[in-house]
Each structure stands twice: as C-alpha cells, then as structure tokens.
Amino acid sequence: MPKRSDVKKVLVIGSGPIVIGQSAEFDYSGSQACASLRQEGVKVVVVNSNPATIQTDKEIADIVYIEPLRADFLERIIAKEKPDGIIATMGGQTGLNLAVELYEKGVLEKYGVELLGTGIEAIEKAEDRGKFRALMKEINEPIPDSIAANTVEEAEGFAKKHPFPLILRPAYTLGGTGGGIARNRPEFEALLELGFTLSPTHQILVEESVLGWGEFEYEMMRDKFDNCITICNMENVDPMGVHTGESVVVAPSQTLSDDEHQILRSAAIKIIRALGIEGGCNIQFALNQKTGEYIVVEVNPRLSRSSALASKATGYPIARVAAKIALGLGLHEIKNAVTKTTPAAFEPALDYCVVKIPRWPFDKIPESSRVIGTQMKSTGETMAIGRTFEEAFGKALRSVEMKKTKVEKQDWERHMTAPTDLRLYAILDALRAGWDRKKISEMTNIHLWFLDRFADYVDVERSLKREVFGREVLLEAKRMGYSDEQIAAVIGQEAEMVRQMRKKHGVLPVYKMVDTCAAEFEAKTPYYYSTYESENESVPSEKRKVLIIGSGPIRIGQGIEFDYCCCHAAFALREMGIESIMVNNNPETVSTDFDTSDRLYFEPLTYEDVMNIIEHERPEGVVVQFGGQTSINLAQKLSMNGVKILGTQMDGIDVAEDREKFKVLLHELGIRQPENGTATNLEEALAVAERIGYPIVVRPSYVIAGRGMMIVYDAAEMKKYIGEAVDVSEKKPVLIDKYIERAIECEIDGVADSEHLFVGGIMEHVERAGVHSGDANNVVPCVRLKKEVQKQILDFSEKIALALETVGAINIQYVVQDDVVFVLEANPRGSRTMPFLSKATGVPLVKLAMQVIMGKKLKDIGAGADMPKMNHYAVKGVVFPFLKLPGSDTVLGPEMKSTGESMGADEQFPRAFMKALLGANLKIPESGGVAISLKDGDKERAAPLAVALQKMGFDVYATPSTAMQLGKDIILLKKIDEGEPNILSEIKKGKIHLVFNTPKKGKVASTDGFRIRRACLEHGIPCITNFEACEALVSAIEHSHGKQQSLERVEDYGMAKKK
Amino acid sequence: MFLDLKNFLARGFSRHDGEKQALLVLSDGTVFPGRGFGASARKVGEAVFTTNMTGYEECLTDPSYAGQILTMTYPLIGNYGMSRDWCESSKMHVEGYVIRELCREPRHVKSGKSLQRRMEEEGVPGIWGLDTRAVVRKIRSSGVMPACIAVFDKGDGTAEKGEMLELAKKLDYSKINFVEKVSIGKATSFGRGRKRVVLIDYGVKMGIVREMNKRGVEVVVVPWNASAEEILAFSPKGIIACNGPGDPAMLMKQSDELKKLFHLPIFGICLGNQLLGQAAGAKTYKLKFGHRGGNHPVMDLREKKVIITTQNHGYAVDEKGLGKEWRVTHTNLTDGTVEGIAHKELPIFAVQYHPEANPGPCDSKYLFDRFVAMI
C-alpha cells in the first residue's frame, strides 16, 4: 500500500516556549517528523512561537511561521497556506489542544484540512476523562473508580464514598498542572478550586488512589492497517504518586516477570486498538506487585516526553515513523532507519539498561517546596546507558550535574516519606549507614529490587576501602558506574592518579552501539555508549573530525538555546565536510538524535567521560563554546591535558570570567564598567559597598545565570545576604557591582575572527536594568537607544572581542544610563539569545561562528562590517515556571527564573511586543479590568497609563493612595486586609484581567504583593512587575486594539515595508 | 533504629568472594572467561542467543533449547527469581547458560528458589560477567557453532581450555536426536473437555497444552515416535505437532506418520511446522544464527497484517519443494523465510513461531481459537 498521494502539504504544530512539562522533546519529535514528511515529498509548514527550535529552521521546514500558538493565528495560517493535512500529535499538549479547538470551531472542515494520523475521535476518547472511562469499561480494562466532576458538588459526592487520599487531575492541562493528591479535606478543597480554574473545560477527574503501586509505561505504535507494536516499556523507580516526569525511570522494566509484562503489553495493544490511534501513544499502568492487580492510569494519544525517552533509549525513531504512518504508510512499509535493512515493524530489543533522572530548578527558586508529586516541577532530565542498572544509574547521577546533594541525617526519613528531589541522595546515605532496605522500601514504596541495586552501588565504596587497590577492584568499581573522581574521593587520592592507574592496568572503557536489535542485525548508525567490557565497537574514522560538547539536562539558565547552538555547530561541520562527534546526555533534545551529528556518544559530560572519548576518537579539536556552562567548565582541564580547544582560547575565556582581569582589560581599553569590587568576607563586602554606594548587585563568582544574585539596598540586607545566601571564602569571593538605576540594558551577539567582529544585532531590554537578561523581554533593533549610543556599543564590542582574542561566538551585555554606556559582562561563547537573533535577522550566527572556528575569515563568508539590516522589529518574550512551583514569587530580578522564550515580529515595536507576549501564552485582555498597585516612584509616572487604558474602555482599579496619582474614574479598592472589595476579591470574581504590580525595594517581598502575584498566577491573569514593561504593554494594547495582528512567514519579515 | 545488623555484616564481604570461575570456549577457538554460577560442570552444546528481555525461566525450561548453550542478549537476568508458574516443562533443558549480570537476590512475590540454586540442582553450568554482546556478535557474524562451557570448583580453567576446544569441535548438533531425549515416555492426558486432541510430543512447551485446556479441550500427549495407529486409537478430533529441538531432517519418519493423519485437522508449531513442511514435500535448511526472541515481525500474507511473534528455531522450511496443494501463509518480514504454511483444502496449518508465547507476546493466541473451531 503506497502512501497517500492526495497529501502534498502538511501543517505541523509545535509546542511553543519551553515550560515545565513541555520541553525540548517536542522540538526533537517535531523536527524528526518534518524531515520524515519531506523525505516522502510532502511540503511542510511549521508554526511555533519558540524561535529557539530546530523545527523552525528553514533547513527543516519548507515554510515557517513563528507566531503565537492560538486558534485565531492558526486559522489565518491555514487560510493562507491551504495545507491538505495537519499533524497535531508532535506539538505536545499544546499542539493537541489546538487541533481539537480548530476542529471544534469548524476551521478544519471550512478549509478542507484533514487531521492526519491519530484522528479527533481517538484524541477525544483518550483525553476526555468521561469518554476514556466509558471506553475502558467497554473493553474491560480496569480503571480506578473515579468521576469526571464538572461541579464542586459532584466532586464532593465522590469524596463521601471514597476515603482519602484522592487524586485530582484537571482535564486538558499539561504536565499535570494543578493536579495533586488530597490527603485530607482542606487539601481536597484547595485542589478543587485550583483545578476548576486551570482546566480549560472546567472538569476535574477525582480518582481513588493507587499510591505506592508500581508505575509502568508502554510506548506504543499503530498504523492504519491495525499493526501494533511496543517500542519500549519503562518502569518508574518512584511509585505511583510521583509523576512519571518526576520519577527516576528505567528501561526496560526490571521487576516484571514475563507474564506480567505480557499482560500489560496485551492490555496496551487492546487499548491502542480501541482508541484507533494512528501513530504513537503512551499508556501508563499502575501495578500492585503484591497481588498482580493492575489498572490503566492514563493514555497520551500523541508523542510525549516518554516517547522521546523511549526513542533515545531504544534507538527507534518514533516521530519519524509516526509521521510516515500519518501519511498512510504501514509499519511494514517503513524501513528501520538505524539498521537500514530491517523493517520498522518490529519491537526493539535492548541489551543494556537505561536510567533517566530528572533535573529540578530548586537551586534557582529555593523558596519553592521541594516535595515532588503528581505535578511536574522538573525542567529537564538526563539519561544514561549502561550494561547494568548500577552502571547506568551511576552515569546518570553524574550527568544530572547536581552540586548540593548532601542531606543531613535527621532529614533522611523526611525526604523519603514525602519524597523530594533529594530522596535519592538520602536513600544512598541511609544505605551507606546500614539502614534496612525493607524499612526504606516501606517508607518510599520503592521496589526492593532497586534498593538492592542502590545498596550494591554504595557497597563499591566499601570494597574500594577494604581491598588492595588493584585491577580487579578498579574494574569492578568502573563496571558499577563509578567515576574516577568518586573512586579517588573514597581512597583519598587525586582523580588523575586513578586515571593513570586505570590506564596502567588497561581498565579502559569500550563503546557499544545502540542498534535497536541487541546486535542481532548489523546496524549502520553510530550511536554509542561506554561500558567496561572486552569488545569495542566504535571504530574511529580517518576523516577530519571535531568533537562538540553538549549542554546536558535542561535547567533554568541553560535551556534549549544551547542545544540549538550545538546542533547548528554539527550541521555547519557537516556542510564543511568535517565529521562531527556529539557528546551529550539529554534524551529530550535534537542534539542527541542519531542523525544530527555524524557520531553520537550518549555520555555524562565530565572531564573523565569526555576525555575517554577524545582519546578514543582523536579529533583535531573540541568545540566548547556552545554547550553553556557545562562545556565551558570542562575547557580548562581539557586544555591543560593537551586537548586542542577550537575557537576562543582558555586565556580569553578566563579573562572574561575573572572579574579582576576583566576590570584591568576594560581599563586598558578605556571602557566604562559599573563601579565594582570583590569581597571575601562580610567586612570587606560592607566596605566595598560603602565605597561604591547602595544599591548594589551582589553575586558569587563563576555561576550560571545569576544564581544567588541579588540587588541589595542597604547594609542590613548585605549582612543577611552574606550570612544566609552564599558561602564566602578566599576561594569563593562575592562580586559587588554598582546597580545602575533607571537605565536601559542591552546586549549583543556576534561572531569574531581575530581581525573583526560581526554583530548580529543589539538587543534592547524592555524592562529597566536589573532584570536578568534571560528574563527580560528583548527587542531588536533598538527602540530607545540613540544611534550614537549604538555606534559606541558596536565600537566597544569589537574592542572587547578582539582583546579577548575571540574566535567564534561572543555575547556582551551593557547598561546605558543617560546615554553613557557601561559594560556589564562579556562571554566569549554561544549565548541564550543566539537562536532568537538568528531567527530575527535571518543570519545563521552559529554557522558563521563554526566556520570561523574552523579557520575561515568573516569577510570570506559574507559577514560584512555592518549589522544585518532589519525592516521589522522582533521581540523575545519569556515564560516562567511559577505556576508549577507553589510558593515561588513572580517578581523578577538579577537571578534568572524563566524556562523558555517566544518571539513576536512586526513592523511596529508595540505590535511585535504584543505578539511576543501572546506567544509566551499570556492572556492579554482587550477589555475588562486592570488593577494597578505600584511602588512609590512608579505611581507618580502611571497616570498616562491609566488614561490610555480608560480611553480603550478598560476599567482601572486601585487603592485610594494609588488612585490619587492615577487620575479620574478609578474604581477604588480596599487594602487586602481591610475588607472587600479588594484586589483579591475582585480577581476571584473575575472582574480583573490584568494587574500591574511593581514590588517594593529589596527581596523582602511584601506579603500583600506576594499574595496578589500568586492570585494572578493561579487565575491565569498576566501580572506585570516592572514599570517599563507596563508602559510597553499599554502601548502594545493601544497599537493592537481593534486591529488584526500581522502574520508572516519568517522569510518575509519586513518584506512588505521594503516594497 | 533501622539498622539491620545481619544484613550489614553480611554485606561487609565482597559480592564476589569465594566465587567460582568459568569458561565459554567456542569451536572457532574464541575463549570467554567469566564468573561461574549454577552447577560446577562441563557441557557441550550449540551456542545460540535469544533477544527475549524477560522470560528467562520459560527459556531455560523450553525443551527446544536441548543441546544448546544459550546466551541472553539482555544483560540483567534473575531479577524476579524462579517460580513453578513460569515453567514450560518439568526441568531445564539448556546445556549451559550465558548471561551478563546475575541477580542473586531475586525480588518477586512468586519467587521461590533463585536462578543459581535451581541451575545447581539441575546440573546446569552458567557463566556471567563476560561481554555477552561480543558473544552475540560472534554468533551473528560466524553463525551458530558448537561450544563448551565449564564452571570450575577450583582455578580458572586455563589448563582445560585445549580440552574444551576439542570437545566443542567434536560436537555435531545436527546428528543428535534431541527429540528422543526430551519427549514424554508414555501417553498422558491433560485436562478435560468435550473434545480431545492428540499432541505429538517432540519437546512440548506446556504453554501449548494449557492454551488448549483453557479452551475446554483435552490434550493427550503421546511420545514423539507414536505411530498414526497409536494416535488414532485415542479418537482425537485433531492433532497438534508441537515444537522441539534439533534438525527436522532427522525426523523424516515422523513427517511420514503425520501424512497418515491428514484426514484430521492438524496444527503445527515450530518443529511441527517443519515436519509438516517435510510431509508436504519441502526440505528444511539451517539458518545462519536462527530466530530466537520475542520481537520477530511476521507477515500474515492472507490478512496483510504484521504480527509480533516469539520465535525459537534454527531451521526453516524451504518453500521450493512444497506440494501444489500447499501454500505459504506467513513469512518473516526481516529475512523473508517461511513462517507458516497451510493446506489449500484440508484443515491443516502450521506456524514456525510460538503462538503460546511464554515468553513473549501473546498476539498470536487467536490461532488456538482458530484450531479449536476446526475440530
């Protein structure tokens, strides 16, 4: 049966900005799907609001729209592009919900667009709790007793019949947003209120609990001929009650006997058939391993985080195959892209063990509760492959790059019974101390088999201490997943000595292939992992080759942008005919797709693991400038050990990172910097602050994305900061900078060869200086900075880039006060804004950088002296994780908190800003109420905003003291504790649709402000906490009011104006 | 308060203290040293591998593995222990067992004795800790070959390598009648039902009998060399020609006996498929490294559907010699080999794979329904 010939053009919906619960995995599946569709001769249209995606590159899709993911925008795209079909299952919950909305609004029918692959009926059966329940009953598959409650009364009725705990899941939310476990009545009521607010269909599933049962997932595929296969089954180490995205997951399952596995597999096939899925889907089961009883927990009728993990774990390209199924091909007609000889209709066989560990953002948002449960809080994950569970587990533990993992003894039990991100470390420590595994199992509900493995893992330390340190014990430790560093720490030696010892004894890693078939057939795809065995399957080529160090798990401050840069580095190398070798451990990303690079090593990003690969592959050099702090941190050690770092050398990196050296350099260049100093103790810090004058910005040295960074307004706050927030010592000084108030921040991204700097653009922050550049809305080209100021920035940039002997990418940040330019910092490497700027200008910055790194000159590759000309504005919007992190405050500061970004483009800045905000999923109202609650200093400037809003028909609310400053016709509110109406009561009543709340100075959040901001969050109301952003937003609303938003293909940006 | 002193002390010793050593020697001279488990013994057999990720007990007790040294491609074995529920026959049939990582403390509610204990009791030597993927790659590229496995009470076997190689080289797997060794001694009836079938035991996996019993059919299991007359004496409504070990070419006589039963519905499984193929005029041939695992895609040529199947066979039916009244109903999607044949008119059909699963996917169990409907 050939593929359908009537489908010539297909729209693929992306998943938008990276948020908790919806990360890089959908760029991975989306990009793979696009490539797969084009392989079949289909023209692909992609829409996504996230510019930092490979999917939205012109090399991946034929036509790209970076526009808000809303039904109205999609309808216009459909009207304009007239696709024959649409694929809804590649863009996560966002894509799926949009497709359903388009169907329900009749848009698909109106334009004759067919939903390809899994159809609307299947989606509804899987997603609608009531329909799903009915279907499961019909096919006789067990489900927990539950009710899809549309009212509080229905939910209450159910709670009367079933004892607590109960599980609550709002319908149609992603990553379990708003869901949770109610252990008692107050928790139940709180979750009900939240859930009804968050669910777009105002429906909550209330379910009896299977807390503590084992959780198993089956990744399934089905084609239209009803062929069904299982790609992979996975076992959650954490039991039911912990979201699978929050669990340590192992593939394949470890504790299931064959009959148990086959019962679940057969049930999964029955379910995928009953739903009528055409493509991929994920089915979750809970299994009581004492009785053998199971229930069906959930079905995702689309590609998911788990399918990305299953793809990387097995080598089976799920998205690629699902896209072909959507075109009508059968599994038997599709080739296995890994072996290139066997068909896609088979079930992968693994001959290794895969362990996934999530990465949480609590280091960046310490005020949030660390307890993990049914709602996702992790931002990313890492995966490791080993020939034993212990080996994979040990490798994953070091891949996750968690620094602080020490749990005090008295807290072990707490971290186990109410699990937190630190539970693993608590368990390992408890096992070291000899705690009984059965007791730990009772406290955690973790299967004893896993606790045995953890015990085996920590036991290695004991053998290392006891036995003569020789080949046997060394080999055993390596086979159990221990790093040289860990071994060294146990035996009180340096890691280098362990490394030398290993080499002397010939204890060296070998590389095995991930081939989908457990070596049964010969595979062509070079996708490797290390282990300590006898046969090495990786045969290095004789070609010119370069190794790229990736960026590891996605975390706040090191997101998909860096993976984007790594992918482009690999693509650029391929174009230059140089072999690319990728090292990374993030299963969600495009960089770890087996055909992104020429050779892929799925390994931890530590010195040891990377050096092993370098010694095996012998590349001509290593690229460290695109993998964020992870790769930069490795540069020095690699360089010291004789590895050639390509591009900017260590000296340049060091000068840029070392505040003192950088200060000297700027001084020599005659470039201003905010007054600053360093301090190694409190006294020094107070003295420096006194000299410079408050307010000041303080932060520890050498950190990612401003971790531990704060604006300090007086000596008392300084004492508190030094005392509580950071460790200060001779080795770890704090950096103190003058905080430049009422200023504009901006930054450049550029590419330098040793003679010249090419600047991609100057990106101006919408917010006032002091908000971390990753959290600020950026606009390019500049809106407020004068031409002379811009010229000076370009001039400074070139001087700094050349002085640092930059070869490749560089990002420099500035602050401008009254037209005076200060340099904040320079980073001679790829930055978070590179993908955005590349998309905004159409200039492939990473590719240019990679070409320069490989020795080309800018002038020879078409990068001239001038910045790219733009006939439009592009704004980078930001997305925050606060909703997922109870207790977190939404105020922005110098510490980065955002997880993702959007882009909006238009010929006018305000309209571009509006699109960026819409792209970042903010619900900007066109009418209704706006509450204004501003700090002193902002209040006085707010009257024009109130007038403008009123002119557009908004009601403006404020407390009397603010209202006085705002002007006429303000609807008065009481202070929160002085009765109603107050801002909270009006938010609850639905009268307020937008809030401006600028917090008072310092980190000591006023409780009222905090309550207002949380209330906004929970009711989905945009709350703007920065005055300049309020101004820009009002202007954006004015410019968009009653007008249609622009909509353009990326390649057509600014073209209308040109004509 | 949670300190488990006994456990704490027990674990104070190395996890490998006092462990025996073992060798696997392939007939091409490749030697794999490893750790020993199970019985201290020396055995020869044909080295084969299976890609099943679960179901090690089902494999070990599958009579079709008689005469073979089995390597598991999946590295972690023994995790959930052993239970009578997962046995496919009354004992283990492999000559030796080769795995990457032995789980010595199984965790499962049904788990009785551990894997190593059962192997010890049944005299099966095992080797672990070696690079099993290297073993598999060797077999894949060179084909299945004779091998010798030994677990040593003392020493590492250096002195015995040469002798082991000689033993391995001497083995001629295709000349040994393994069926004779594993078949039932005398006719025995299993289950009760309104209908009765006779199953000719070439080395039956009990899963087949259980599937029939579940469908209300009595199964009389008769020895491999039972004559057609002896079989018909049970007045069966149908015949099952089951799985079993070894080269089907050794069993031409059994194929001839089957021919005499063509007036009855016949269901052939695995070796049964090959014997029916021979009865239908075809020859069988040896595959390079066989099909063993639970993930093999088979195309049902009549329904144009792919079925994921459990397989365990080293020989295949050569389509060329099949009589005109027969057709090939199933082929392997990966290498195109014959996976099923049927008579064009008579209710006789057979598959090369294992519809009874155990281990592996249950997607083909409908074949039992189909057979029961015929009888």
* Cα–Cα dist B105/B107, whole Å: 6
Residue that has been written with the tokens 């707010």 in this structure = A942
List chain A residues with CB under 8 Å of B305. Answer: 225-227
Could you tell me if A80 and A173 lie in one domain? no
List chain B residues with CB under 8 Å of A436. Answer: 2-4, 7
DSSP letter, residue A868: P
In a domain, A121, yes or no: no
* Cα–Cα dist A935/A1006, whole Å: 11
Tell me the pairing of strands A579-584 and A545-549: parallel
Among the partner-chain residues B5, B293, B304, the one whose CB lies closest to the CB of A225 is B304
How far apart, in Å, are the Cα atoms of B178 and each of B50, B172, B181, B203?
A: 19, 12, 5, 9
Among the partner-chain residues B16, B80, B361, the one whose CB lies closest to the CB of A262 is B361
**pLDDT of the residue at A882:** 87
What is the share, in percent, of chain A residues with pLDDT greater than 90?
80
Gyration radius of chain B's alpha carbons = 21
Give the closest residue to B300 by CA, choosing from B369, B367, B356, B237.
Answer: B367
| Chain A contact for B214 (CB, 8 A cutoff) | no
Q: Nearest chain B Cα to A288, which residue?
A: B109
Among the partner-chain residues A456, A521, A534, the one whose CB lies closest to the CB of B134 is A534
How distant is the alpha carbon of residue B142 from its chain centre?
Answer: 21
**pLDDT of the residue at B12:** 36
Could you tell me if A173 and A157 lie in one domain? yes
Could you tell me if A794 and A692 lie in one domain? no
Q: Is the pLDDT of residue A4 over 90?
A: no
Q: At what angle do helices A305-314 and A318-326 cross, to 10 degrees?
A: 110
List chain A residues with CB under 8 Å of B26. Answer: none
Q: pLDDT (tens digit, 9 = 90+) per residue, A332-360? A: 999 988 888 889 999 999 999 999 999 99
In a domain, A533, yes or no: no
- The mean pLDDT of A318-325, rounded to a whole number, is 97
- The mean pLDDT of B209-236, rounded to a whole number, is 98
Residues 29 through 88 of chain B touching chain A, CB cutoff 8 Å: 49, 51-55, 57-58, 73-76, 79-80, 83, 85-86
Report the 10 Å Cβ neighbour count for A951. 10
Could you tell me if A789 and A711 lie in one domain? no
Q: Is the pLDDT of residue B295 over 80?
A: yes
The number of C-alpha atoms within 13 Å of B10 and in the hemisphere containing its C-beta is 8
* Inter-chain residue contact A534 with B54, CB threshold 8 Å: no
Last residue within a domain, chosen from A689, A708, A738? A738
- The mean pLDDT of A700-727, rounded to a whole number, is 74
A186-200, A480-494, A592-606, B180-194: lowest mean pLDDT where? A186-200
- The mean pLDDT of A61-79, rounded to a whole number, is 97
Could you tell me if A807 and A723 lie in one domain? no
Last residue within a domain, chosen from A738, A768, A792? A738
Q: Is the pLDDT of residue B2 over 60?
A: no
Q: Is the pLDDT of residue A601 over 50?
A: yes
**pLDDT of the residue at A2:** 60
- The mean pLDDT of B226-245, rounded to a whole number, is 98
Q: Find the Cα–Cα–Cα–Cα dihedral A578, A581, A587, A590, rounded to 10°.
A: -10
Q: Is the pLDDT of residue B6 over 50?
A: no
| Chain B contact for A262 (CB, 8 A cutoff) | yes
Q: How far apart are the first and last CA of chain B?
A: 65
Q: pLDDT (tens digit, 9 = 90+) per residue, A244-265? A: 999 999 999 999 999 999 999 9
How far apart, in Å, are the Cα atoms of A890 and each of A161, A368, A1017?
A: 39, 11, 8
Tell me the pairing of strands B96-99 and B125-128: parallel
Q: φ, ψ for residue A384 (rounded to 5)?
A: -140, 150
* Cα–Cα dist A493/A490, whole Å: 8
In a domain, A882, yes or no: no
In a domain, A797, yes or no: yes
| Chain B contact for A462 (CB, 8 A cutoff) | yes
Largest CA distance in chain B: 78
Q: Is the pLDDT of residue A215 over 80?
A: yes
Residue that has been written with the tokens 């060294």 in this structure = A488
Q: pLDDT (tens digit, 9 = 90+) per residue, A763-802? A: 999 998 888 899 999 999 999 999 999 999 999 999 999 9
Could you tell me if A826 and A908 lie in one domain? no
The residues, any chain, with a CB within 8 Å of residue B238's CB and separated by 6 or more, are B195, B197, B198, B264, B265, B266, B267, B371, B374, B375
Task: Take residue B312 and report the two structure tokens written for it.
Answer: 């365990």
* Cα–Cα dist A278/A262, whole Å: 22
Q: Is the pLDDT of residue A114 over 60?
A: yes
Q: Is the pLDDT of residue A758 over 60?
A: yes
What is the share, in percent, of chain B residues with pLDDT greater than 90?
95
Mean of per-residue pLDDT scores for chain A:
93
* Inter-chain residue contact B79 with A463, CB threshold 8 Å: no
DSSP letter, residue A285: E
* Inter-chain residue contact A265 with B361, CB threshold 8 Å: yes
A924-938, A997-1011, B32-46: lowest mean pLDDT where? A997-1011
- The mean pLDDT of A878-893, rounded to a whole number, is 85
Could you tell me if A734 and A748 lie in one domain? no
Report the 10 Å Cβ neighbour count for B325. 12
Tell me the pairing of strands A955-958 and A971-972: parallel
Q: Is the pLDDT of residue A803 over 90?
A: yes
Could you tell me if A704 and A836 lie in one domain? no
What is the share, in percent, of chain A residues with pLDDT greater than 70?
97
β-bridge mates for residue B198, sequence order: B220, B239
How distant is the alpha carbon of residue A391 from its chain centre?
Answer: 26
> What is the set of domains in chain B, with CATH numbers?
17-171 (3.50.30.20), 179-374 (3.40.50.880)
Could you tell me if A906 and A961 lie in one domain? yes
Q: Are A200 and A97 in contact (CB under 8 A)?
A: yes
- Residue A717 binned pLDDT confidence (cut-offs 50, 70, 90): confident
3-state secondary structure of A553: coil
In a domain, A1051, yes or no: no
Q: pLDDT (tens digit, 9 = 90+) per residue, A124-178? A: 999 988 899 999 999 999 998 888 899 999 999 999 988 888 989 888 776 567 8
> Which residue range(s) make up the domain with A715?
675-738
Q: Find the CATH number of the domain harbouring A108.
A: 3.40.50.20
Under 8 Å CB pairs connecting chains A and B tally to 185
List chain B residues with CB under 8 Å of A349. Answer: 51-53, 73-74, 293, 295
- Active-site annotation holds for B291: no
Task: Take residue A383 and report the two structure tokens written for it.
Answer: 């995966």
In a domain, A351, yes or no: no
- Active-site annotation holds for B120: no
Gyration radius of chain A's alpha carbons = 28
- The mean pLDDT of A279-297, rounded to a whole number, is 96
| Chain B contact for A354 (CB, 8 A cutoff) | no
- The mean pLDDT of B107-116, rounded to a whole number, is 95
**pLDDT of the residue at A924:** 95
In a domain, A752, yes or no: yes
How far apart, in Å, are the Cα atoms of A944 and each of A966, A967, B289?
A: 8, 9, 82
List chain B residues with CB under 8 Å of A468. Answer: none
Could you tell me if A847 and A942 lie in one domain? no
Q: pLDDT (tens digit, 9 = 90+) per residue, A1006-1026? A: 678 888 998 898 888 999 999
Alpha-helical regions (H) of B183-279: 206-214, 228-232, 252-259, 271-279
3-state secondary structure of B167: helix
Q: Is the pLDDT of residue B16 over 60?
A: no
Identify each DSSP E strand in A713-862 by its residue range. 734-738, 744-752, 757-768, 778-780, 808-817, 820-827
Q: pLDDT (tens digit, 9 = 90+) per residue, A394-447? A: 999 999 999 878 899 999 999 999 999 999 999 999 999 999 999 999 999 999
The residues, any chain, with a CB within 8 Å of residue A15's CB and separated by 6 or more, are A22, A26, A27, A30, A48, A50, A69, A91, A92, A93, A94, A95
**pLDDT of the residue at B15:** 46
Task: Take residue B177 and report the two structure tokens written for it.
Answer: 């009648």
Give the closest residue to A321 by CA, choosing from A4, A56, A29.
Answer: A29
Q: Find the Cα–Cα–Cα–Cα dihedral A388, A390, A393, A397, rounded to 10°.
A: -140
- Residue B13 binned pLDDT confidence (cut-offs 50, 70, 90): very low
How many domains would you assign to chain A?
5
Could you tell me if A780 and A704 lie in one domain? no
Q: Find the CATH number of the domain harbouring A734.
A: 3.30.1490.20
Could you tell me if A968 and A1004 lie in one domain? yes
3-state SS string over B39-63?
A: CCCEEEEEEEEECCCCCHHHHHCCH
- The mean pLDDT of B261-273, rounded to a whole number, is 98
Give A455→chain B minimum CA distance, Å.
Answer: 9
Q: pLDDT (tens digit, 9 = 90+) per residue, B187-200? A: 999 999 999 999 99
Give the closest residue to B312 by CA, choosing from B172, B182, B205.
Answer: B205
- The mean pLDDT of A991-1001, rounded to a whole number, is 89
Q: Is the pLDDT of residue B17 over 70?
A: no
- Active-site annotation holds for B270: yes
- Residue B1 binned pLDDT confidence (cut-offs 50, 70, 90): very low
β-bridge mates for residue A714, sequence order: none
**pTM of structure:** 0.95
Last residue within a domain, chosen from A738, A760, A792? A738
Q: How far apart are the first and last CA of chain A?
A: 48
Task: Take residue A1007 and report the two structure tokens written for it.
Answer: 């409780």
Tell me the pairing of strands B101-102 and B76-77: parallel
3-state secondary structure of B80: coil
In a domain, A464, yes or no: no
